[in-house]
């Protein structure tokens, strides 16, 4: 999982985390004006979003569970 | 993908790490209009934000050029190009001054002395004198962005560049797309500087997932020569949590030299020490232990606070879980290799330069940083912090030369047929009704390349077997990559480039029939100075990947009168 949670109550919708993420895991939910985890599998646990969030709304875990490997996908 | 935007510029820079930012700033200072593209956000992208050392050389600090040059040749097992090595050292002080002027902060002890890494005893310093100054992680990368904007560079973030465009035989620009709204971006440029970094396979542990060999793949496809693919970067990761080991540490304060600790010592499962943490090693000796059945490998960190932070602490500087508390008590952690899989040695792999102005075989195409295969280092990396010096040095050289070139050129006229072909290639994964997801193909690539017996302990038959898999992926899987949106379209192009990089790595490793540095062939366990004081060059010829030897000039050979065991003091298994 890596980036596990963005607390919707704490998130102030500033969008800093979107620019912090070089692998494009986070996007803004235009309707609610909150950051959301759009592509969780691509998180590489760099912690930049957690470091940069002014509201401490991000939680990155040290654990990552990649998808199970199958014959095609 | 119906939206389209055309950008005209004098100099196009692709990739916004340290090399790209220096290139853009220096080109702009020459009076050229400069556009800088990055698939992420310049200042937070590439490997640069993770760099925390700068290898500044200066007699002012008591440094001795000969000693530093010898360290690179010795550690790199004579596979470096000393002309480039010397240029990096000589340029580094001016680039360090640039950084200081722009506001980059470097660590100092309480007594106002810089924090130099690694700390070595005087007798070790005599043999390995290279050192670098520790700097604050991330802060410096953001400063390059600020400085580029201040200089007037046009930064366009979140653009994935997919291909270079040629007009006749000269480079004329590039094509890509925005990852947010799927807009096609066509750049018409009089000169282009490739600074898109090196090539890994999205491994776990080091945050290298954007380093997918895009720069060398794009250059290869327009006829440039690629080098240095047979070497390995051997970063390990924590066995328990392989996904996060090299994440950024909290910046720490140091009051005295003792706080910095020492390099980690390594022990195998039997408790035998396999490196003393003081001398330079291959870094792949862990694999040799594992192959002999003596894994796990433990790293014992030094007593200093910085060593502890490097190996155990999380981003907040605290142990993150019970296992880390255990590690803190024992002073050792269980490590496993593969966290930088796919990467060669910094400043060694990439596009072959034809001059020290960072020109390439393609007129109008320049390269710098880890996209430039200047072989400044060789078969093994000599010292942390060298790469930041090299990237800023080559970025500056490329920026100045590309601006001079561009200011004498007319705007290129792009061939419509070529643009139509490039657009079709760019959007193919999203236009396809079905196929394979890029994530799954990347996983298949990792499963083929990751086991230690492919790239760390190499042999003809195993690499041929892996190459068969990669060729199948190239011919039958990559042409069916499918993307549901622009995010996946970026992944599809990255995956295509990684498969190409894997083929280059295997072919270069099969080609070099000897062992040297980080390239270990168990079927050829000796260095072979008669045949292999040479670099390997790769290029496309009539649709085929071809390899050739470029002999290293005799003046740079190791002294052949020195006995082999002294010339090459590190032993390979079976040697």
The per-residue DSSP string of chain A comes to --EEEE-TTT-----HHHHH-TT--EEEETTTTEEEES-GGG-----HHHHH-TT--EEE-S---PPPP-S--
Which of B18-27, B216-225, B299-308, B309-318 shows the lowest mean pLDDT across its residues? Answer: B309-318
Contact (Cβ atoms closer than 8 angstroms) between residue B90 and residue B58: no
Residue of B20, B203, B247 best to disrupt the A interface, most CBs of A under 10 A? B247
For residue B30, what pLDDT is reported? 98
Q: Which residues of B touch A (CB under 8 A)?
A: 39-41, 44-46, 49-50, 138, 157-158, 179, 202, 204, 207-210, 241, 243-244, 247-248, 314-315, 320-321, 436-437, 439-440, 443-444, 447, 487, 490-491
CA distances B117 to B131, B135, B247, B300, B487, Å, are 5, 11, 19, 18, 39
The minimal CB distance from B487 to the residues A24, A62, A64 is found for: A24
Q: What is the pLDDT at residue B470?
A: 98
The pLDDT of residue B496: 98
Which of B571, B570, B574 has the alpha carbon at shortest distance from B74?
A: B570
Give per-residue pLDDT as tens, A36-47. 999 999 999 888
The token duo for A48 is 């930049």
Q: Tell me the CATH number for domain A3-60.
A: 3.30.70.20
- The CA-atom distances, in angstroms, between B78 and each of A44, B74, B161, B355, B506 are 35, 6, 35, 20, 22
Closest chain A residue to B251, measured at CA: A51
Indicate the domain borders of chain B: 4-233+347-407, 255-337, 420-567
Q: Alpha-carbon Rg of chain A, whole angstroms?
A: 13
Query: Tell me: the pLDDT tens digits for B375-400?
Result: 999 999 999 899 999 999 999 999 99
Q: Which residue has the higher pLDDT, B310 or A4?
A: A4
What is the average pLDDT across B325-334? 68
Cβ separation A45–B138 shorter than 8 A:
no
State how far Cα B232 lies from the chain centre: 10
Buried b (16+ CB within 10 A) or exposed e, B121-151: eeeeeeebbbbbbbbebbebbbbbbebbbee
User: What token pair was written down for B79?
Assistant: 């596979």
CATH superfamily of B4-233+347-407: FAD/NAD(P)-binding domain (3.50.50.60)
Same fold, B4-233+347-407 and B420-567: no
Measuring CA to CA, how many Å separate B181 from each of B4, B45, B438, B489, B504? 11, 20, 19, 12, 33
* Residues A64, B244: C-beta atoms closer than 8 Å: yes
Q: Determine how β-strand B332-337 pairs with β-strand B159-167.
A: unpaired
Closest-CA distance, A64 to chain B, in angstroms, reads 6
User: What token pair was written down for B222?
Assistant: 């327009």
Q: How many C-beta atoms surround the C-beta of residue B559 within 10 A? A: 8
Per-residue pLDDT of B265-321, as tens digits, reads 889 999 999 887 666 677 888 999 999 999 999 887 665 555 555 555 555 555 555
- CB-CB contact of B226 with B539 (8 Å): yes
In 3D, which of B129, B219, B139 has the Cα closest to residue B174? B219
Q: Which helix (H) or strand (E) holds B140?
A: helix B139-151
Residue of A nearest to B15 (CA): A22
pLDDT exceeds 90 at position B262: no
Q: Is the separation of the CB atoms in B349 and B216 below 8 Å?
A: yes
Beta bridge partners of B548: B537
Q: Give which of A12, B242, B241, B39 is closest to A58, Cα–Cα.
A: A12
What is the average per-residue pLDDT within B131-136?
Answer: 91
For A12-57, the pLDDT digits (tens) are: 999 999 999 999 999 999 999 999 999 999 999 888 999 999 999 9
- Using a 10 angstrom Cβ sphere, with 0-12 exposed, 13-18 middle and 19 or more buried, the burial of residue A68 is exposed
- CATH number for B420-567 (one of 1.10.10.10, 3.40.50.720, 1.20.58.100, 2.60.120.260): it is 1.20.58.100
* Contacts B49 to A, Cβ<8 Å: 48
Q: Distance (Å, rounded) from C-alpha B156 to C-alpha B159?
A: 7
Name the burial class of residue B29, with classes exposed (0-12), middle (13-18) and buried (19+) by CB atoms within 10 angstroms of its CB: middle
Is B404 exposed, middle or buried (CB count within 10 Å of its CB: 0-12, 13-18, 19+)?
A: middle
The two three-digit tokens of residue A54, written as one number: 């002014």
B263: pLDDT strictly greater than 70:
no
Say how far apart CA B118 and CA B386 lie, in whole Å. 12
Tokens encoding B455: 């790239």
User: If DSSP codes are grouped into helix, strand and coil, which group holds residue B46?
Assistant: coil
Listed in sequence order, the residues at least 6 apart from B377 whose beta carbon sits closer than 8 Å to its beta carbon are B72, B76, B80, B85, B345, B346, B347, B348, B386, B390
Give all strands (DSSP E) within B324-372, no chain letters.
Answer: 332-337, 350-351, 365-367
| Gap between the Cα atoms of B242 and B205, Å rounded | 5
Q: Rounded distance, CA B55 to CA A71, Å?
A: 46
B37: closest CA among B14, B61, B5?
B14
Q: Do B443 and A69 touch (CB under 8 A)?
A: yes
Q: Which of B131-135, B163-167, B242-246 has the least mean pLDDT?
A: B242-246
- Cβ-based contacts of B320 with chain A (< 8 Å): 62
Beta-carbon neighbour count of residue A21 at 10 Å? 27
CA–CA distance, B177 with B426 (Å, rounded to integer): 8
ipTM associated with this complex? 0.98
Under a CB-based contact definition with an 8 Å cutoff, are residues B357 and B396 in contact?
Answer: no
Whether B406 shows a pLDDT value over 90: the answer reads yes
Least confident of A12-21, B57-66, B116-125, B538-547: B116-125
- Please state, in angstroms and rounded to a whole number, the distance separating the CA atoms of residues B433 and B422: 20
């Amino acid at each position: 999982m890596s980036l596990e949670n963005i607390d919707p109550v704490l998130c102030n919708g500033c969008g800093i985390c979107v620019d912090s993420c070089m692998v494009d895991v986070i996007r803004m939910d235009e309707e609610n004006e909150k950051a959301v985890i759009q592509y969780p599998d691509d998180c590489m646990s760099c912690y930049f979003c957690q470091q940069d969030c002014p509201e401490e709304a991000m939680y990155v875990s040290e654990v990552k569970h990649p998808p199970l490997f199958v014959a095609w996908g | 993908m119906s939206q389209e935007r055309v950008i005209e510029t004098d100099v196009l820079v692709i990739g916004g790490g340290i090399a790209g930012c220096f290139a853009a700033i220096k080109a702009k200072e020459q009076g050229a209009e400069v556009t800088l593209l990055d698939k992420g956000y310049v200042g937070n992208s590439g490997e640069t934000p993770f760099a925390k050392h700068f290898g500044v050389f200066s007699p002012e600090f008591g440094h001795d050029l000969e000693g530093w040059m010898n360290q690179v040749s010795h550690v790199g097992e004579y596979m470096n190009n000393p002309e480039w090595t010397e240029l990096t050292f000589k340029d580094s002080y001016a680039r360090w001054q640039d950084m200081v002027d722009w506001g980059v902060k470097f660590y100092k002890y309480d007594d106002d002395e810089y924090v130099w890494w690694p700390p070595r005893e005087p007798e070790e310093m005599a043999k390995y004198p290279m050192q670098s100054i520790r700097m604050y992680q991330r802060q410096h990368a953001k400063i390059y962005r600020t400085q580029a904007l201040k200089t007037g560079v046009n930064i366009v973030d979140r653009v994935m560049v997919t291909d270079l465009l040629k007009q006749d035989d000269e480079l004329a620009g590039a094509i890509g797309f925005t990852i947010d709204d799927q807009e096609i971006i066509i750049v018409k440029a009089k000169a282009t500087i490739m600074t898109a970094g090196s090539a890994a396979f999205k491994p776990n542990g080091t945050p290298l997932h954007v380093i997918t060999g895009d720069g060398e793949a794009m250059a290869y496809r327009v006829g440039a020569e690629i080098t240095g693919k047979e070497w390995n970067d051997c970063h390990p990761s924590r066995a328990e949590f392989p996904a996060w080991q090299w994440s950024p540490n909290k910046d720490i304060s140091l009051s005295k030299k003792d706080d910095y600790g020492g390099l980690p010592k390594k022990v195998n499962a039997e408790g035998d020490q396999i490196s003393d943490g003081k001398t330079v090693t291959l870094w792949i000796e862990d694999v040799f232990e594992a192959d002999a059945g003596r894994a796990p490998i433990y790293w014992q960190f030094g007593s200093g606070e910085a060593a502890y932070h490097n190996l155990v602490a999380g981003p907040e500087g605290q142990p993150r879980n019970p296992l880390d508390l255990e590690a803190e008590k024992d002073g050792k952690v269980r490590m496993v290799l593969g966290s930088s899989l796919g990467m060669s040695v910094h400043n060694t792999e990439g596009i072959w330069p034809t001059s020290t102005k960072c020109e390439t075989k393609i007129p109008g195409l320049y390269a710098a940083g880890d996209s430039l295969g200047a072989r400044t280092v060789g078969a093994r990396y000599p010292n942390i912090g060298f790469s930041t010096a090299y990237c800023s040095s080559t970025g500056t050289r490329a920026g100045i030369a590309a601006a001079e070139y561009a200011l004498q050129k007319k705007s290129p006229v792009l061939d419509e047929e070529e643009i139509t072909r490039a657009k079709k290639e760019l959007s193919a994964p999203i236009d396809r009704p079905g196929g394979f997801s890029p994530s799954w193909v990347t996983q298949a690539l990792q499963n083929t390349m990751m086991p230690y017996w492919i790239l760390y302990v190499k042999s003809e038959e195993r690499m041929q077997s892996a190459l068969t898999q990669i060729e199948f992926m190239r011919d039958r899987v990559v042409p069916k990559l499918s993307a549901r949106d622009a995010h996946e379209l970026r992944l599809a192009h990255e995956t295509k480039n990684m498969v190409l990089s894997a083929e280059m790595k295997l072919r270069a490793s099969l080609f070099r029939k000897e062992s040297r540095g980080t390239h270990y062939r168990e079927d050829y366990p000796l260095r072979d100075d008669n045949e292999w004081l040479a670099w390997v060059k790769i290029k496309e010829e009539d649709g085929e990947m071809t390899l050739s030897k470029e002999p290293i000039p005799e003046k740079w050979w190791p002294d052949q009168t020195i006995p082999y065991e002294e010339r090459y003091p590190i032993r390979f298994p079976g040697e």
